[in-house]
């Protein structure tokens, strides 16, 4: 259920619902106290029902408007610990071969839920910034012009922030392999595919295999 006070219009609608609900409760109570209680319970159950129904299938995929000329492409790259590794660099390099491709690399400042609640994000942001700087330097060394930013602690929010400002034509997400990735566990890649109407490539970076080879 969305917050009833998220905007003036939503608050106004909530007021109208409140007036209707309390009018029913008062009228029922004037007829009989028991009836008033039953109506109150019924309305409460209806509110829970609406809440559960709204938790069902999500909205349609969000359309991302293409920005720039027809031959221009914008690629959003999202990674954290996997940033700067060969698989991801390969995926970026392949795309860089096309003309007029610009890249935005977003590195979410991953931290624990408790630290996020306590706004203790500085170490995570500093670490993410360092990884990002290294990645941008590597890309620049092979002639790929990319810009980067540290994103929100929640990867989905970081992606949404970037989508709003960058308007990507494609999203590349790099994660650890399944079983070793919290992004996998949380269904980040699937959520992004459902949320946006642009191609989403999932690049799996196996750091253990890379270290072993």
Partner 1 sequence: MSAHAEVLHDHHGPPEANQSSRVDARTLGMLLFIGSEIMLFGSFFAAYFFVRVVNPSAPAEWPPEPYHFPVFVAGVNTAILVTSSFTMHWALQSIKRGQRAGFLAGMVLTFVMGLAFLTTQVVEYLNVGFNTGDGAFASVFFGLTGLHGAHVAVGLSLLLMVIIRGSRGHFSPEHHHGVELPGIYWHFVDVMWIVVYATVYLL
CB of 36 to partner 1, least distance (A): 7
Q: Least distance from C-beta 94 to partner 1, angstroms?
A: 21
Q: Smaller CB distance to partner 1: residue 14 or 204?
A: 14
Query: Which of 66, 1, 89 lies closest to 197, judged by CA?
Result: 66
Quote the CA–CA distance of 47 and 39 in Å, as a whole number: 12
Q: How far is CA 106 from CA 28, 59, 101, 204, 212, in A?
A: 56, 25, 16, 17, 27
Q: CB-wise, 121 or 170, nearer to partner 1?
A: 121
Q: How far apart are CA 16 and CA 47, in angstroms?
A: 14
Nearest to 110 by CA among 197, 207, 190, 176: 176
User: What are the tokens at 114?
Assistant: 């408790």
Nearest to partner 1 of 106, 176 (CB atom): 106
Out of 5, 99, 113, 179, the only residue in the binding site for partner 1 (CB under 8 A) is 5
Of the two residues 14 and 66, which places its CB atom closer to partner 1 in the complex? 14
Site string for partner 1, 140-179 (x = CB under 8 A): x-----xxxx--x-x--x--xx--x---------------
Contact yes or no for 76/166 (Cβ under 8 A): yes
From CA 174, how far away is CA 196, in angstroms rounded? 17
Identify whether the C-beta of residue 60 lies closer than 8 Å to the C-beta of residue 7. Answer: no
Q: List the x/- string, 181-210, binding to partner 1 by CB under 8 A.
A: ------------------------------
Task: For the segment 26-85, give every residue that binds partner 1 (CB under 8 A).
Answer: 26, 29-30, 36
DSSP β-ladder status, 200-204 and 170-175 = parallel
One of 1, 7, 52, 112 touching partner 1 (CB under 8 A): 7
The footprint of partner 1 (CB under 8 A) covers 3, 5-9, 11-12, 14-15, 18-19, 22, 25-26, 29-30, 36, 121, 125, 129, 132-133, 136-137, 140, 146-149, 152, 154, 157, 160-161, 164
């Amino acid at each position: 259920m969305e917050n009833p006070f998220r905007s003036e219009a939503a608050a106004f609608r909530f007021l109208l619902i409140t007036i209707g609900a309390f009018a029913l409760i008062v009228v029922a109570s004037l007829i009989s106290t028991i009836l008033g209680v039953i109506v109150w319970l019924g309305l409460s159950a209806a509110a829970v029902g609406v809440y559960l129904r709204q938790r069902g299938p999500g909205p349609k995929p969000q359309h991302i408007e293409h920005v720039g000329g027809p031959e221009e492409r914008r690629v959003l790259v999202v990674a954290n610990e996997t940033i700067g590794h060969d698989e991801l660099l390969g995926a970026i390099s392949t795309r860089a071969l096309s003309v007029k491709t610009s890249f935005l690399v977003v590195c979410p400042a991953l931290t624990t839920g408790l630290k996020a609640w306590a706004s203790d994000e500085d170490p995570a942001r500093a670490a993410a910034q360092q990884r990002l700087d290294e990645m941008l330097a590597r890309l620049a060394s092979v002639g790929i012009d990319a810009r980067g930013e540290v994103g929100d602690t929640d990867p989905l929010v970081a992606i949404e922030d970037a989508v709003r400002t960058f308007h990507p034509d494609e999203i590349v997400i790099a994660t650890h392999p399944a079983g070793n990735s919290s992004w996998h566990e949380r269904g980040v890649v699937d959520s992004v595919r459902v949320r946006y109407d642009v191609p989403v490539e999932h690049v799996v970076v196996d750091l253990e295999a890379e270290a072993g080879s």
